[in-house]
Amino acid sequence: MREDFLHFVWRLRRFRLTELKTTTGQVIEIVHPGQHNHHAGPDFLDARIRIDGTLWAGNVEMHLRSSEWHAHKHQDDPNYNNVILHVVLEEDVIIRHTDGERIPCLDLRNYLPVGLAKQYLRLLNSEQWISCQQQLYTVPEITFNLWLDRLLVERLEERTEELAKRLDRNGGDWEETFYQSLAWGFGLKVNADPFLMLAESLPLKTLLRHKNSLPQIEALLFGQADLLEEDFTDDYPRQLQQEYRFLKQKYQLQPLSANHWKFMRMRPANFPSVRIAQWATLLFRTGQLFSKMLVAQNLREMENAFVVELSNYWQTHFRFDKASKKTTKTLGKASIHLLVINIIAPFIFLYGKKRGADIYQERALRLMEAVPAERNHILAEWKALGVNIKQAGQSQALLQLKNSYCNEKRCLDCAIGCSILKRNPDVMEEDVLYLPTWWLASAAEATSKEA
C-alpha cells in the first residue's frame, strides 16, 4: 500500500462517509475535500471540514502512519501550520501543532471498503507485464481512448521540455534549434549524440553561406566530423579535404574526433558517412527547414521534403575510397516517420505552445495520427493484450503509459486504473478492512523510500 491510495479514496470520497469520527471521538463532516496538491506542502489545500459542528477551512495531510509527520520533518515546515485534519491508516503517535494543540486525526481503517482495498492491492502487487492485465478488457473503450489522447499530449509536452531549453540556449532562434534537433534525429539511436555535436560545432548560418554549393556543405560537415583526415585515393574526398582546410581556417573551426562515430554492426545504408551525405543534400536543397515544416499542409508534403538524391559519388560509395554497387541511398519512409515522431511533431507542438497558437498544437497531434505506428517490443506486448495500434499517436501514448505509469505502478494516476477500481462491484460494501501488521510495516518502508 502506498500513500497515493489515501489520496485516491479521499479525493473521490470512496470510503464510508457516515459516522466519521476523529481518533478522539469528534464527529467529522467533509464539506469539501480540498484541491489535490501535486507540489510541496500538504496533500490537499483549501478543504472545508466540520468537526463537532465547527466549520474549519484549511489543509489536509495524509500518511500511512501518523509518525511519518515527524519523519518527513513537517513540524519544521510552516506550510503545515494550517493543517486542520491528519488522515492516516494508523495513529501510532499523537501529532500536535507548534503551539501544542493536537491536530485532529482520522483513522481511515474503520471506513475503507474491503473490495476497493483488495483490488488496489492486487494491482500494486501484480507481477504481470502490466498490473491490470486481467482487467483491461473491462475498461470502457471511450475511457481507454480518451486516456490515450491525454497521454499523447503528455508525451509531447515532455519531449518539448528539452527542446525549449535548447531554444533558450540559442537565443530563441527556431531555425538553428530545429537544425540541431533534426541532426540528432538523423543520427538514429547509435550516432544521435555525435550528430548533435556536429550540428552544435557548425552553426546553420555558416552552412547557409554556402547554400549554393553542395561540395562546400559536404566539406564543412565531413571535415567537422573529422572524416577527412585520411590519405585518400579518390578525387572527390581529396577535393573535400582541400576545401575544408580552407574553410576551417576561414571560420576558425574545431572539428570533432572521428572516434565518436560508430560504424560497427550497422547496415551500410545507416553508416554515419551516408547519413551525413543525406544531411548535406537536404541542407543544400532547403536551408530553412523549420519554415518548410511549418507551412507543410500534410504528412505527404513533409515526406517529399526529405526525399533527397545523393550525388554520383555517394551512389557508388558507403564510405570514402570504398566503391560499392550503385544504389540511390534515399531516406526511407520509416526513417522520415521517425523524424516526424521524435523531432518535427514535438517541435511544431512547442512552436504552438510558445506562440499561443492552438492551431499548431492541433496540427502536431493530427500529424502523429497520420504517421503509421512504430514497431518495438513494448508495442508488441500491447498488441498481444488485444490493443489495436494503427497510428503513431496511439503507439506513442502506449509507450508513455507503459514507461511512466505501468512500470512505476501509478495505477491511481491512470484513468484505466481508476476505472477498474471504480467499477469494482464490492467497492461500496460496508465491511471495513483489516490491515495486518506486516502490511503496515511494508507500506511504511515503501513510503520512506519514496520520501
Averaged pLDDT, groups of 10, the chain, 451 residues long: 88 90 96 94 96 96 96 94 95 93 93 85 91 91 96 96 96 97 93 97 96 96 96 96 97 95 91 96 91 93 92 94 92 93 97 95 96 96 94 98 96 92 54 42 45 45
Contacts of 429-434 with C-beta under 8 Å, sequence gap 24+, read 429/113, 429/114, 429/115, 430/16, 430/113, 431/113, 431/114, 432/16, 432/109, 432/110, 432/111, 432/112, 432/113, 432/114, 433/109, 433/112, 433/113, 433/114, 433/117
Which ranges in 252-332 belong to alpha helices (H)? 272-285, 289-295, 299-305, 312-315
pLDDT at residue 450, as a whole number? 44
pLDDT at residue 288, as a whole number? 87
Decide: 9 and 15 in contact? Cβ < 8 Å: yes
pLDDT at residue 451, as a whole number? 45
Decide: 363 and 348 in contact? Cβ < 8 Å: yes
Q: From CA 66, how far away is CA 16, in angstroms rounded? A: 21
pLDDT at residue 439, as a whole number? 41
Contacts of 100 (CB under 8 A, 6+ apart): none
Cell numbers 513494448 correspond to 378
pLDDT at residue 421, as a whole number? 87
- For the whole model, what pTM was predicted? 0.81
pLDDT at residue 46, as a whole number? 96
pLDDT at residue 310, as a whole number? 92
pLDDT at residue 240, as a whole number? 97
Q: From CA 9, how far away is CA 6, in angstroms rounded? A: 5
Closest-CA residue to 105 (of 18, 20, 206): 20
pLDDT at residue 87, as a whole number? 97
